[in-house]
Structure 1
Amino acid sequence: MTDSPRLLIPYHVPPSRTNELLDALDGHLPADSLVVADTPAESRELAPSADGIVTYHLDADLLDAAENLRWIQCLSAGVDHYDFDALRERDVVLTNSSGIHAEPIAEQVLCYLLMFERGLVQAGRQQARGVWERFEGGELRGKTVGVVGVGAIGGRVAQVCSALGMRVLGTKRDTSEVPGGVDELYAADEYHQLLLDADYVVLACPLTDETEGLLGREEFRLMSEESVLVNIARGGVVDEAAMTRALQNRAIRGAALDVFETEPLPPGSPLWDLSNVVVTPHMAGSTPKKPERWRDIIVGNYEALAADDRDAMVNRIV
């Protein structure tokens, strides 16, 4: 262990993001503790001396080259693309950025809900066609929202919906403590009850072996014809073909989708043209406040690494 561990930002991180990180971290880490690689060759050259790597993803070659690596800080909340077994074998700690997206995603979920409840999806399509056709809007107050995965993001969604007077159902692996804003909490494997009762279903769970294909043909049969699906989790949590059929046949009222099985969403996907679907390009977590929130996590975890106390790191996955 050294008193000043060395952090590497590899070429995988886009230059604009790297510059934001450098600005946010300036003065918060020891001098010369952070190095940046602009190319694959520079990344491989600098990797052997890195104690920690700050990145979105890490390929096997770079992981192999980082022979002194003790910590990876993932800049996203999703870490399903990492090889957990390989990291455990190397005794490398993986931490993610869970929580930094909670506020913008919760606000976007609220926007989705209002778009369907107030008829703004229909209004937008009428405007594009130049059609004046009056309709009635509804109210979210008194409606039921089911949040699958009441973690940092799902928890904030629950709070926002509760503040509007909605009844909030949630699922969580650990049900020993009910998060604020949740009226009824179910175990993760009891999500079918939530699907039966919810007017709006919000997917906020990570993509794991257990959650892959969580919503398929049978689950869409459980949902009401008036229910709306909101997916801000990962595309793989939903069987996209089954969802598309449910939307085409009006088995559910609609869907607001920020994530997909294949991204970008292929031009030939029927989801582009369905009148009951809102498509956004995986941007629900975007916010100008990301750098400062990254800084708080990175600095705290760096200090734990420097103190040789990796158990104190926050957002630890491995």
Structure 2
Amino acid sequence: MGESSAQGIILLMYNPPEDHLDRLRSIAPGYEFRVATSENEAIRLMPEAEIVLGNRYFTQSLPFARQLKWMQSNSVGVDLILAQKDLLSQKGIVLTCARGVYDNEMALHALGLVLSLFRSLHLLRDEQLRHSWQRHRLRDFEGSRCLILGWGSLAQKIAGYLTAFGGRVSAVRNQSHDSEDGEIKIFGRNSWEEQLPLTDLLVLCLPKTAGTMRLVGRPQLEKLPATAFVVNIGRGGTLDDDALADLVRNRFIAGAALDVFEQEPLPSAHPIWTIPEIIVSPHVARSLEGPNFKWFALFENNLARYIGGQPLLHQVDYARGY
């Protein structure tokens, strides 16, 4: 392909609706927009791209980038992209993520999972399918001691919902010291495990990094009371799924609700499928969308900031992994 006379090339890794594309063009009138509809097309178009918007085909075509300055992901977690962080750094590419775009629906999903555990809705549904008038013990959520691992925007949204329903919320942040954020007590990496024996609900909202892989393993899970519940709404791999399954099955933990897993899809032979006290939510906290996606507004906003020379929103720190 010959050199373009445009100011630069913006490569879209998705098929944009006309109104969204029109807004992008009005934001960056000097740029040429191209759309990759296949992996081969992305590889062919990547060498001339200055900006890439969207995840699809990005990792496959990244090695062919010659002029790329900025990549905007439509995902919050970018661990798959960061598998090539050395290449990204070598090429001097800025990576931004979709942090905050899905907070509300993910927090609502987390709240639904929490209330299902406390009110045994999953067990009652199982009884219904058996045509069984069998009652289960239902627990009151008010006053429950909730510990959230992670303190990003999603965790803060979940904390608001849990507090509104009467939970006593604290959180954990990757810092050396304890602190406070408003009325929320924040524990640092050196002290958070001391809170586990006092925890009724443990919620994982962690990014997937080298430092968070299996951060909650058997030693941490064994510190929880036998009445505790565990919810993972963050990233798979931050929780030891096998250890959790064993402890719930043997009633050392009361139950769990998982939206993400170490291996996805969850293998059909995994014991988690057969444990009634564990709710399997197949990575659906973020809804399937289209053709108008929630991240369109972020893409347009960040493109305007790029064109205007302003700092980009939600820039990923390659060293931290999020």
TM-score, normalised with respect to structure 1? 0.88
Separation in structure 1 between the aligned mates of residue 6 and residue 197 of structure 2, nearest angstrom: 55
Q: Which 5+ residue runs of structure 2 have no aligned equivalent?
A: 318-322
Would you say 1:85 and 2:86 are equivalent positions? yes
1:36 CA drift (Å): 1.0
In 2, Cα distance between equivalents of 1:186 and 1:137: 30
Report the alpha carbon displacement of residue 136 of structure 1 after superposing the two structures with TM.
Answer: 4.2
- Displacement of 1:124 in angstroms is 0.8
What is the aligned partner in structure 1 of residue 262 from structure 2?
A: 261
Structure 1 residues 33-52: aligned runs within 5 Å: 33-52=32-51
Is 1:233 equivalent to 2:234 in the alignment? yes
Cα distance in 2 for residues equivalent to 1:172 and 1:289: 34
Residue 286 of structure 1 is matched in structure 2 by 287
Offset at 1:291? 4.8
How much does 1:149 deviate? Answer: 0.3
Give me the CA root mean square deviation.
2.4
Corresponding residue for residue 270 of structure 1: 271
Is the CA contact 2:178–2:188 (under 8 Å) kept in the aligned structure 1?
no
1:239/1:136 Cα in 2 relative to 1: closer, same or farther (>3 Å)?
Answer: closer
Letter in 1 for 2:299: I
Specify the SS of the correspondent of 2:63: helix
Match of 1:109 in 2: 110
How many residues get paired? 307
Q: Partners of 1:197 and 1:26 in 2: how far apart?
A: 54
Q: For 1:235, what is the secondary structure of its paired residue?
A: coil
**Structure 2 match to 1:54:** 53
Counterpart of 1:27 in structure 2 is: 23
The residue number in structure 1 matching 2:320 is none
What is the aligned partner in structure 1 of residue 138 from structure 2? 137
Gaps of 5+ in 1: none
Counting helix residues as a fraction of each chain, which structure ranks higher? 1
Q: Which residue of 2 aligns with 1:63?
A: 62
Seen in structure 2, the aligned counterparts of structure 1 residues 144 and 3 have a Cα distance that, compared at 3 Å, is: farther
- Verify the 8 A CA contact 2:42 2:58 in the aligned structure 1: no
2-side partners of 1:24 and 1:304: how far apart? 17
One-letter amino acid of the counterpart of residue 113, structure 2: Y
Structure 1 residues 135 and 262: CA distance shift in structure 2, 3 A: closer
TM-score, structure 2 length as denominator? Answer: 0.87
Contact 1:170/1:194 (<8 A) preserved:
no
The superposition leaves residues 123-158 of structure 1 with CA deviations (integer Å, 9 ceiling, x where unpaired) of: 011011110013342221111111100101111000
- Partner of residue 7, structure 1: 10
Deviation at 1:289, TM superposition (A): 9.2
SS in 1 for 2:222: helix
Counterpart of 2:63 in structure 1: which amino acid?
Answer: D
Residue type of the partner of 1:70?
K
Q: Would you say the 8 A contact 1:5–1:306 is kept in 2?
A: no
What is the CA-CA distance between 1:25 and the residue it aligns to? 4.8
Equivalent-residue separation in structure 2 for 1:228 and 1:5 (angstroms): 52
SS in 2 for 1:236: coil
Q: Which amino acid aligns with 2:46?
A: A
